[in-house]
Amino acid sequence: MMAGTVLSGRRFVVSAGPTYEDIDPVRFIGNRSSGKMGFALAAAAARRGADVVLVAGPVHLDSPADVRRIDVRSAAQLHAAVLAALPADCYIGAAAVADWTPRAVAAHKLKKTDGTDALALELVRTADVLADVASHRPRPRLVVGFAAETDDVERHARAKLERKGVDLIAANRVGIAGSGFESDDNTLVVHAADGFARTLGPAPKTQLADALLDLIQERLP
């Protein structure tokens, strides 16, 4: 397919996939993100001619054409890679970044100690990549977040939009079959700071990526 040019000269940074927070050399805390949604967005932006940097957590997906891919593992690495890729015209945070990480990574595999049937892990908050991008100077012209929710999707998504200072937030329901994590299809409800809301889908993530990019293009100054 011929690449489009409508976004040529625009720089996009897209994050995708999960992060893995190591506990010891063999164990980690992860999540169910496959990277499909973020990779579809990076591919769609590149097809429209944007210069795309894709910061990817650990996923089993081939790189989209004409995209510069940076592989990371942890939330801290994703944070550093995204901020290093700025300045950009648009940041899209589709990655499922861990909110918590072990305070320390054990140097050796944790052993089952005789007489102990519980293990307490101390977790500390990770940096919020999306909020840090939204307050970065120079700020991307458009900062787009996702909200992965199991309940009260609209209320939680609008609260995240405001708390994180983003321009658009794409809310999706997780924890059910056929949307959110891992599936090929999804439904997005996109909210903007000015009260705008639009439902996209249900549809394959590849189609949703194009529909979300249409909204992004309309709002990209």
CB of 31 to ligand PMT, least distance (A): 8
Is there a contact between 211 and 191 (Cβ–Cβ < 8 Å)?
no
CB nearer ligand PMT, residue 49 or residue 77: 77
Q: Interface with ligand PMT by CB under 6 A: which residues?
A: 17, 33-37, 75, 93-97, 99, 126, 128-130, 145-148, 160, 172, 174, 180-182, 205
Is there a contact between 20 and 97 (Cβ–Cβ < 8 Å)?
no
Q: Which of 82, 84, 19 is nearest to 55 (CA)?
A: 82
CB nearer ligand PMT, residue 50 or residue 57: 57
Q: Give the integer Cα–Cα distance in Å for 159 and 110.
A: 39
Token couple for 54:
């894709």
CB of 49 to ligand PMT, least distance (A): 24
Q: Give the integer Cα–Cα distance in Å for 200 and 113.
A: 51
CB of 188 to ligand PMT, least distance (A): 7
CB nearer ligand PMT, residue 117 or residue 134: 134
CB of 116 to ligand PMT, least distance (A): 31
Q: Is 172 noted as a catalytic residue in this protein?
A: no
User: Catalytic: which of 15, 19, 31, 126?
Assistant: 31
User: Residue 107's CB: how many other CB atoms inside 10 A?
Assistant: 7
DSSP-based three-state secondary structure for 40:
helix
In one-letter notation, the amino acid at residue 65 is: A
CB nearer ligand PMT, residue 24 or residue 132: 132
Catalytic annotation, residues: 31
